[in-house]
Amino acid sequence: MRRMGHRPAGNAPQAGDVSADEMMTACAARALRNGMTCFVGIGLPSAAANLARATHAPDLVLIYESGTIGAKPGWLPLSIGDGVLADTADAVVSVPEIFNYWLQPGRIDVGFLGAAQLDRFGNINTTVIGSTYADPDVRLPGAGGAPEIAAFCREVIIIVRQSRRSFVEHVDFVTSVGYGTGPGDRERLGLTGAGPRKVITDLGVLEPDPVTRQLTLTGVYPGVSPEEAKAGTGWDLLISGSLAVLDPPSPAELSALRALQAMTPGSEGAH
C-alpha cells in the first residue's frame, strides 16, 4: 500500500501541490453521500471514507471486515483491525456474522475495492499475475472480502492507478466479478448488487456504459488529456461524449485529509 501525504497538517494547500493520491481520495470521498453505509478497506478507501465523514458526510456509517460496524476513528488506521475501530464502533460482531448477516443480504450501500488488474467490464484480479495459477509470475494477496463486497454491496467503487499493466484486455484471474462478460451476466450469476458504479484512477474517472456495461472515461483531472487515459489502458478505451473535467480537492478537503493523516500515530515513520 502506498504511503499517502507526508506533508505536515496546516500547510496552506496550494494549487499544484496536490498528489495523485489526494486527488483520488477526494474524488472517492465525493462519491459518498451522507448517511450511506460503507464497507471500507485499508489505504485510499479508508482515507476517502474518513475524509467524507470529516467533511460533507458526518453520518456515514463505516464498516470494516473485522466486524466493526459504525467505527469512528479520529485518524487513519493501518489495519482493518486496529483497536481504535473497535473502541469507537456502534457494534463489534464476529467475522462470520459480518459476512453472513451484514454483507451477504445486501444491507450495505457501497463497497470500495482495489485491483492489481482490471478489465473493461470491471472484473478484478488480486490473486496471481501470470498465465498459470499454479506457477504464477507474481503471487498477490488473494481475495479477502472482495468477492462478496463486489457481489453484494448495492454499488461498488474501485480505486486503482491506471496503466497498461493494471488496465488489461483480460485479467489473469477473476477474483471479484464486475459485469462479468457483459450485460445480464451479474443477474445470471446471482450477484445481487448493482456492480461497479465508478472506477477512480490517478487520471480520472470511468463509469460503466448503461447499456453495454463497458467502462467509459467520463471525467479527467485538470491537465489530463483523454489521450493519456487511452495510452494507460490496455483495451480500446471509450471516451464519453460529455467528458467532464473534475474539480481538484478544495482547500477544505485538503486540510481535512492532511489533518487526518497528521493525527495518525507514528505518521512520520510508520505509515
Partner 1 sequence: MARIVSLAEAVAAAIHDGDSVAMEGFTHLIPFAAGHEVIRQERRDLTLIRMTPDVIYDQLIGAGCASRLIFSWGGNPGVGSLHRFRDAVENAWPGPLQLEEHSHAGMANRYAAGAAGLPFAVLRGYGGTGLESLSGLDGQPAVRPITCPFTGERLTAVAALTPDVTVIHAQQADRAGNVQLWGITGVQKEAVLGARRSVVTVEEIVEALPPRAQAVVLPSWTVDYVARVPGGAHPSYALGYSQRDNDYYVAWDAISRDRERFLRWLKTDVFGAPDPPGLAGPGTGREE
User: In the complex, which residues of this chain contact partner 1 (CB under 8 A)?
Assistant: 1, 42-43, 65-68, 77-83, 85-87, 92, 94-96, 99-100, 103-104, 127, 133, 136-139, 141-148, 151-152, 173-177, 180, 185, 189-192, 265-266, 269-271
Q: Which residues pair with 113 in a beta bridge?
A: 158
Q: If you count them, how many residues does the chain have?
A: 271
The question of whether 65 is a catalytic residue gets the answer yes
Q: How far is the CB of 159 from partner 1 (least distance, A)?
A: 15
Q: Which is nearer to partner 1, 190 or 223 (CB)?
A: 190
Q: Could you tell me whether strands 117-118 and 124-125 are parallel, antiparallel, or unpaired per DSSP bridges?
A: antiparallel
Q: Which is nearer to partner 1, 188 or 241 (CB)?
A: 188
C-alpha cell at 245: 473535467
Q: How far is the CB of 170 from partner 1 (least distance, A)?
A: 12
The greatest distance separating any two alpha carbons of the chain, rounded to the nearest whole angstrom, comes to 51
Cα–Cα distance between 48 and 127 in angstroms, integer?
A: 24
Q: Which is nearer to partner 1, 178 or 248 (CB)?
A: 178
Q: Which is nearer to partner 1, 159 or 220 (CB)?
A: 159
Q: How far is the CB of 20 from partner 1 (least distance, A)?
A: 18
Nearest to 208, CA basis, from 231, 230, 179, 229? 179
Q: Which amino acid is located at 48 in the chain?
A: A
Catalytic residue among 22, 65, 148, 253: 65
Q: How far is the CB of 124 from partner 1 (least distance, A)?
A: 10
Cα–Cα distance between 4 and 86 in angstroms, integer?
A: 24
Q: How far is the CB of 179 from partner 1 (least distance, A)?
A: 10
100 DSSP 8-state letter: I
Burial of 110-133, coded b for 16+ CB within 10 Å and e otherwise, reads bbbbbbbbbbbbbbbbbbbbeeee
Cα–Cα distance between 23 and 249 in angstroms, integer?
A: 6
Q: Which is nearer to partner 1, 109 or 148 (CB)?
A: 148
CA atoms within 13 A on the CB side of 186: 24
CB 260 within 8 A of CB 76: yes
Q: Which is nearer to partner 1, 55 or 267 (CB)?
A: 267
List, in order, residues 6 or more apart from 83 with CB less than 8 Å away: none
Q: How far is the CB of 135 from partner 1 (least distance, A)?
A: 8
Active centre residues (catalytic): 65
